[in-house]
A and B are shown apart, each in its own frame.
Chain A
Amino acid sequence: MVKAFRWWWGILLAFSLVGLSRLFLPLPFINEVIIFSIYTIGCSFLLGRVGFISFGQPAYLAAGAYGTAFYLFYFGTNPFVGLLLGVLSGLVVSGIVGPLFVRLRSDYFALVNLALAVIIYYLMQKVLADFTRGDNGLWFLTNMASTPLLDISRPDQFFIFALLVALGVWAFYKYLDDSIFGACCLATKINEDKLEFLGYSNYSVRLLAFIIANTTTALAGAMYAVYLGFVSPEITSPSRAADPVIVTILGGTGTLYGPLVGAIAYTGMKDVISKLIGNWELFIGFLLVFIMLAGDKGIWGSLQPRLEKLFSRRNAPGAPDDVGATRR
């Protein structure tokens, strides 16, 4: 029981803080933050744990969003089924491109992935314009039937749902980090020869990680679709390709809470800045360059050691960890 609590308390604390912020922050902002953080955690996992620079996340986001949108626009009314289909289509897309992409060297991977995002943008904007209505997008807010228990077609109830989903996603990624698979991912990033020597296949570890991360991204896409009730090709626009990478690095690459912290900081800045000046790209571009030059730890990455030090000192003064820390 105590062990379980110790495992869960960080996640619970983080998300109760997010839940509490509902009292003084506007609802659209928090919803955006939660979805964005789910969007980013896949990218953070790929970049920090497996060593893949994924500039192609919008492609999988679009897969999820359009999976949901097609169902809700053309076929059904139940948003939960829509979400499920969105996640499924993300799984299918990453399952198709995954086996090909993970064989590539990381530089080629980054380029090919970004090319995929651009191609999906064209596909949705022009080639499939008959189905996707091109730049006008698909509107299906009124198509969604209200669901019993938790009516996610309403923003305030969607918030509760999103919070629960995020909680689940974070628990899942924490579990991954602790598991042998998580260790394998880290090993394939750091030393692939050794991993091979230990009897694991680099290819399957990477493929599994790729599919898991991109399915999470598709989940975020599906949630966007249900929350906004609207999907347009803009979701996979190349100029937004860097968004998850920016948030990942802003928050702290590979850390568990980095994506959440990054998403809060990024969405907050975006809101404030876009109110002050219209030229959003100018700001975000130079912010990115600045972050990269300043260091790669990010907000949470540089905060975490301090917090840990603070807590370990308070809980157990002179504990072995603490001595080790001061000696260093």
Chain B
Amino acid sequence: MMDAQLLISGVIFGLSIGSIFFLMAIGLSLCFGLMRIISLDQLLYYSIGAYLTYTLSLVTGSVWLGILGGLVVAGIVAFAVERLIFRRIYDRDLTFSMITSFGILIGGIGVIKFFWGVVPRPVPIPMMTQLDIAGTEVPVYRLIVVAIAALVYAGIWLFLNRTIIGKAIRAGIENVEHVEGLGINVSRLFTITFIIAGSLSGLAGGLHAPLIMVDPSMGLEVLAFVFMVVIIGGLGSIKGTLISAFMVGQVVSLGSLIYAPLAQMAPFAIMLLILLVKPTGLYGSALLKR
């Protein structure tokens, strides 16, 4: 039997890792929903966010500033990539976006190796204080990560439901041609969505950096988990992404408490089970053509 302290810290760990997954998966999900591309380069923006957090926290001494810088730079890089590359492949097959973005990811890892080398870098935890929850010491930083993810979810929800641009994005997920027919500049809509996705991935990287070591292939390490989150939740659904991110987070965290290898295997098994029942994930729409 697991004791309560272990369980509480496990749940908190799961929540924080789920928040990171959510922040990254939302980018993939939004990009797929609106532009019908699979943007694997989100994982590159995640690494960029983490590395900028490392460098800026070294230079300025503040990790929070680093995270902010990571978010901004990831957004800028996403903007450049969208303008230079994705622009040209929107109307092509899904295969193209997937392979091209994988190329960007691999090439970007090369660039990171060029600038920062291959040695893993540590990032200090910005808040060392512990909070007492039912007799368990819980790191405040992890709670802040969860709070930020909750804020982002609320922000995204407000953005999509209360602003004209957000409503246009939601309409675009349903049918892009109708939105274009209304006289809305779809190309600008795509750019905005891509920048949002990229900066959220950068934020995820920055927030994750103090919890792990920053190394060039960190994007590839979370790749499988982010994929599972997106697939379980259903491509293009924000609500589904939120639910599946926290589900996968808990499975990873509590699974590793029971038996360490479960952390990697259990989410995969759950994903296969869910796909067996519903091939489009929990909230994925079946309307999209193959």
Residues of chain A touching chain B, judged by Cβ–Cβ distance below 8 Å, are: 47, 53, 55, 100, 103-108, 110-112, 114-116, 118-119, 122-123, 126-127, 192, 238-239, 241-242, 245-246, 249, 279-289, 292-293, 296
Contacts and interface: CB of A to CB of B under 8 A. Distances in A.
Contacts of B231: 108, 111-112, 115
A123 B263 CA distance: 11
B282 interface: no
Interface residues of B, number: 45
A293 B280 CA distance: 30
B171 interface: no
A293 B38 contact: no
Where chain B touches its partner, the secondary structure class is helix
B223 A114 contact: yes
Interface in B58-116: 85, 88-89, 94-96, 98-100, 102-111, 113-114
Given A114-B223, A115-B224, 7 more contacts: A111-B227, A239-B109, A241-B102, A280-B110, A288-B99, A289-B107, A292-B103
Contact of A119 (B98, B100, B265, B276): B265
5 contacts: A105-B279, A108-B279, A122-B265, A239-B220, A242-B102
Contacts, number: 140
Nearest to A99: B276
B228 A104 contact: no
B235 interface: yes
B253 interface: no
B271 interface: yes
Contacts of A279: 110, 113-114
B11 interface: no
Contacts of A55: 98, 102
A47 B93 CA distance: 12
Contacts of B96: 292, 296
Contacts of A288: 99-100, 102-103, 106-107
Nearest to B281: A108
B113 A289 contact: no
A239 B113 CA distance: 14
A238 B217 CA distance: 10
A279 B216 CA distance: 12
Interface string B276-290: 100111000000101
Contacts of A192: 290
Interface in B1-41: 32, 38
Contact of B99 (A53, A105, A239, A283): A53
B101 to A, nearest CB: 9
A235 to B, nearest CB: 15
B268 interface: yes
A115 B227 contact: yes
Contacts of B271: 112, 115
Most buried by B among A107, A241, A282: A107
Contacts of B224: 114-115, 118-119, 122, 238
Nearest to B286: A105
A108 B110 contact: no
A79 B207 CA distance: 50
Contacts of A53: 94-95, 98-99
A302 to B, nearest CB: 17
Nearest to B85: A289
Given A105-B288, A293-B85, A115 B268 contact: yes
Most buried by B among A100, A280, A283, A289: A289
B230 interface: yes
A100 B102 contact: no
Nearest to B44: A285
B221 to A, nearest CB: 8
B275 interface: yes
B193 interface: no
B230 A111 contact: yes
A116 B264 CA distance: 11
